[in-house]
Amino acid sequence: MSVDMDNKLSQWNLDYTQGKLSLTELLSRLPQHQQRFFMFGIPTYNNLGDQMIGFAQKLFFRRNFPQLLYIEITEPQTDQAIAELQKQLRPSDMIGFIGGGNVGSYYLNHERARRKVFSTFIDNLTVSFPQSVNFNENSRQGQRELGLSQEAYGKNPNLTLCARETQTFRRFQRYFDNNVLFTGDMVLSLDPLPGRGKHDGVLMIMRHDDEKVTGDDPLDKITTVLEESDRSVYQTDTVVPFKVEDGQEDDPSRSTLKLNERWQLFTNKLDEIRAAKVVVTDRLHGMIFSVITQTPVLVFDNSYGKASTSYHNWFADLNYVRQTNDTSPENVLKNIEELENIKRVDPLEFDHSYDALLNLINSHLVEEA
């Protein structure tokens, strides 16, 4: 694809996601001979981890599949996009649903949209990009939701599920009859973005949602011990407070997060992380953002193990990343002291973690759509 067409597609795609164009109008402007990839589920809410998955996926396609017309469809557009695309779907079209950590019974707004997409485009390659799964099998609702997803996913013989950690890989194999791949979180496909200059203090990136397991009392004690050791302690999160929250996209008091706002908000957050000597986090993308900036990080787990499992799958060999379940102030302080004393961080080597995904898409490329 030429640079000019790539720029035009980005602008038209932005216009489409803002309601200035219909999907039909967008597609009518594109070269009719080129093969297309439609990525559903693009977020409009304020979680930077999910936002940067979307951005990283776009760069992944630009780098590896420049011949494809890559079209982003936001999750609130799901129903209308399905209705329009069904009328003009080509056999060569490929369908995707964004990666993240929301397959399961806890984020049903995303799971319901995912079911619709998977059960509709059953004759085309369909790829669920790297995800973590969490169905509550101990509740009737969780079992019911799992059954509904099994029914929807099972309708699509061309569906491949990508798991971003081994816990999810095993669960996908147990839950579903679809093809399953093991692939890293898409944010790890970005080039390393290390910082230079002075580093100061400890940056806490902690959850405030249902996945939080480290209580406020231990965190308060950790903060007190760190401050008493003459360390500055800063607080932040990977959500943007002035943008709409997940599941509340109709809230008129806050604006949605637009495609062309992702990179600047992301780089602002990375600057904040780079400035710290050490990061302490229970967020998966708090860990991943620290990894790609090569900032020493201590990781606590979340409610269903995706942070710790991802650590053991991808980051345990990196000398500047540590994971602990012992949140006592003494243990945290000891780990932080050791992380502060690292002189040279290990290099990142994630290039081959996407080979299976690359091979899958390559196998469905055609000369002309």
pLDDT score recorded for residue 355: 96
Q: How far apart are CA 362 and CA 261, in angstroms?
A: 30
- pLDDT at position 368, please? 64
Q: Residue 213: its pLDDT value, please?
A: 60
Considering the chain, tell me which residue range(s) the CATH 3.40.50.2300 domain(s) occupy. 202-347
For the domain 3-187+352-362, what is the CATH code?
A: 3.40.50.2000
Task: Determine the pLDDT at residue 352.
Answer: 87
Task: Return the structure tokens found at 35.
Answer: 């093969």
Predicted confidence at residue 1, as pLDDT, reads: 73
- The domain made up of 202-347 has a fold known as Rossmann fold (3.40.50)
93-124 b/e (C-beta count within 10 Å ≥ 16 → b):
bbbbbbbbbbbbbbbeebbebbbbbbbbbeeb
Residues of the chain with pLDDT below 70 are: 209-215, 304, 368-369
So what's the pLDDT on residue 199?
Answer: 86
Q: How far apart are CA 225 and CA 227, in angstroms?
A: 6
pLDDT score at 189: 94
Q: What is the pLDDT of residue 369?
A: 44
At 276 the pLDDT is 96
Residue 267: what pLDDT? 94
Q: Where in the chain is the domain with CATH 3.40.50.2000?
A: 3-187+352-362
Residue 323 has, within 13 A of its CA and on its CB side, a CA count of 23
Q: How far apart are the first and last CA of the chain?
A: 14
User: Is the pTM higher than 0.85?
Assistant: yes
CA 89 from centroid of its chain's CA atoms: 27
* pLDDT (tens digit per residue) in 250-263: 888 899 999 999 99
